[in-house]
Amino acid sequence: MTTTVTLPEDTGLDTRVLVFTNGSAGSGKSTTAAALAYAAAKKKKKVCYIGLDKQRDGSRLLGYDDPDADEDLPTLFDVVDKLVSLSEAVVPARNTRTKEAIDNLWVVLESKKLEDLEFKLASVTARELWLYRIIGELRGRFDIIALDCSGDVKLGTIGAIIASDEVVGCTKSQEKEARGLTELEDKIAEVAEAYGHTGMPTGIDWVVITEGVEHKSQGKVYKDMETQLREAYGNIVLETVRDDVKVPEAYTAGQPVTLYSPSSSAAKAYTKIGRQMKLYR
């Protein structure tokens, strides 16, 4: 496994580590993480995306359709397997269409082997700290590190939460995903009892609603759920990303929607969300 990648120098940047998560699958985590990562990179912020999902959707959106198929490409599982360090696993994000590197954006690729993460770390003491122990290799090099989790609150997600500074809860305006946020809150509180000394988040810092509707006439149940989410979480609920055909089109094209169609309503919403989070001006 040989890669020669030039990383940003450690200049002591005040790195923000964001974890994108939900206790339920299909909540728009990868779409949101990739869209915000590209939007921030476009604003000249140095960004590193780290994928923790065996489905590898985020890696695909950032230029690598099947990282496991290329033995010269390091993945996050190779880091867990101690074949490479975390900093050695960082590669440039790419425009899937042109294959050119995307300025200011890097990625640690996912692997389908991540489904074996719990087994791989079964004998490790305090295994929940697996990512916390190594994330320091990248702090100071990037303005933003985006941790994109799988749709559960198992070991991968727990490790990402402990290693992060802020939790971004992604949800659709539907009951299943909204309940996933509640499950996520409960898990964060539980984990914080044991690992709060690390400085990990103690709750959800931001909520992003994806695939929202414009009017009640389009779906009263969905609009009512959005209202309930805003009542429950208050001002940490950011701009709603309305249902937009450009999102599935961007996925099919293998690009973040902010790259694929920057003038679309979804891309504009994600760009505004980045400003609301003060990722850039």
Residue 215 has pLDDT above 80, yes or no: no
Q: Which two tokens stand for residue 185?
A: 């809150």
Are 267 and 258 a contacting pair, CB within 8 Å?
yes
Q: Give me the pLDDT at residue 216, please.
A: 52
Are 157 and 52 a contacting pair, CB within 8 Å?
yes
Q: Which two tokens stand for residue 27?
A: 């909540």
**What is the amino acid identity at position 5?**
V
What is the pLDDT averaged over residues 145-174? Answer: 95
Are 256 and 38 a contacting pair, CB within 8 Å?
yes
Q: Which two tokens stand for residue 167?
A: 């939790």
Can you state the percent helix, strand and coil of the chain, rounding each to 5? 45, 15, 40
The stretches of 164-264 forming alpha helices (DSSP H) are 175-195, 220-233, 246-253, 257-260
Q: End-to-end CA distance of the chain, in Å?
A: 39
Q: Which two tokens stand for residue 195?
A: 């690992």
Residue 222 binned pLDDT confidence (cut-offs 50, 70, 90): confident
Q: How far apart are CA 177 and CA 244, in angstroms?
A: 18
Residue 1 binned pLDDT confidence (cut-offs 50, 70, 90): low
Residue 176 binned pLDDT confidence (cut-offs 50, 70, 90): confident
Chain Cα centroid distance, residue 27: 12
Residues 6+ apart with CB under 8 A from 97: 253, 254, 255
101, with CB counted inside 10 A (0-12, 13-18, 19+), is middle
Residue-wise pLDDT tens digits, 20-76: 999 878 889 999 999 999 999 999 999 999 999 999 999 999 999 999 999 999 999
What pTM was estimated for this model as a whole? 0.95
Nearest-CA neighbor of 270 among 40, 1, 13?
A: 40
Owner of token pair 């909520």: 207
Q: How far apart are CA 20 and CA 56, in angstroms?
A: 14
